[in-house]
Structure 1
Amino acid sequence: MAVTIEDVRRVAEPLPRSYEVLVRDRVKFRVGQIVWLAFSADETQMGFAFPKEERDALVASEPDVFHMPRASDLRFNWVEARLDALEVGRMRELVVDAWRLVVPKSVALAHGLDG
């Protein structure tokens, strides 16, 4: 079963310091001013914070699920996924890991989400 934006919201919204915004008709999640999760306008793709140095390996390992961000976003810790190719458990892991990249370690530790 394909993951939906509602499935992702259920994981992302309760995370400490995370909040949803709408930017140019696209749903994004931020911590402070940092965007750590975003959806394509048609809500079929999810971009998320991910270490640049691990991105090539992730995309190469599952090219049917993951792909590189657009050229202008390659400088960021960012990768994209096709929601219809993700399982809910994997999505949950990716979303929490992306959030952990942008919050202070003490926040993740305080909520038992330090990995």
Structure 2
Amino acid sequence: MAEVADNGRMSDDRLESLRRICLVLPEVTERLSHGEPTWFVRGRKTFVTYADHHHDDRLGFWCPAPPGVQEELVAQEPERFFRPPYVGHRGWLGVRLDVDVDWAEIAEIVTDAYRMVAPKKLVAQLDGPAPA
């Protein structure tokens, strides 16, 4: 596990990277929820919650995942993925950020979470214009 150095610098860098991924998605806003940065679709539907050692000893984030994905990823890579407290029973996925991170993979996970909660009109914006 990577160590937090320079008074949380790793934590700050990881948060900024996650923030950039979330805020590029259509109609996403950020505000604190339960003391942690959280991203919402249209200001009301949570799709990513940052978790900076607040609920356990892991630096990571929680997000909804398509059916079966949480179980599959946690079984395959328990050092990177986990069942988060409070929302894990609903299929949410915990993703560690205090290990080596593949930011392209994180972007895919975040985008999938967005697709789980965003209205169809916003999801369509991700997919580009419909063929003529």
The 5 Å alignment of 1:67-86 reads: 67-70=82-85, 72-85=86-99, 86=101
Report Cα offsets for 1:39-62 as digits up to 9, x if no partner. Answer: 114482111111243211110011
Aligned length: 112
Classify the secondary structure of the residue corresponding to 1:84. Answer: coil
- Deviating above 6 A after TM superposition, structure 1's stretches of 4 or more consecutive aligned residues are none
Alignment of 1:18 onto 2:28 = yes
Counterpart residue number, 2:45: 34
TM-score, length of structure 2 as denominator length: 0.73
Deviation at 1:105, TM superposition (A): 2.5
Of residues 63, 74, 81, the one that matches 1:59 is: 74
Matched residues, percent identical? 25
Structure (1 or 2) with the larger CA radius of gyration: 2
Counterpart residue number, 1:8: 18
Counterpart residue number, 1:106: 121
Please give the alpha-carbon distance, in whole angstroms, between the structure 2 residues aligned to 1:20 and 1:77.
Answer: 22
**RCO higher in structure (CA 8 A, sep ≥6):** 1
CA RMSD of aligned residues (A): 2.2
Task: Tell me which amino acid in the other structure corresponds to 1:77.
Answer: G
Task: Tell me which amino acid in the other structure corresponds to 1:35.
Answer: T
Unmatched runs of 5 consecutive residues or more in structure 1: none
Task: Tell me which amino acid in the other structure corresponds to 1:8.
Answer: L
Deviation at 1:110, TM superposition (A): 2.4
Q: 1:75 to 1:107 in 2, by over 3 A?
A: same
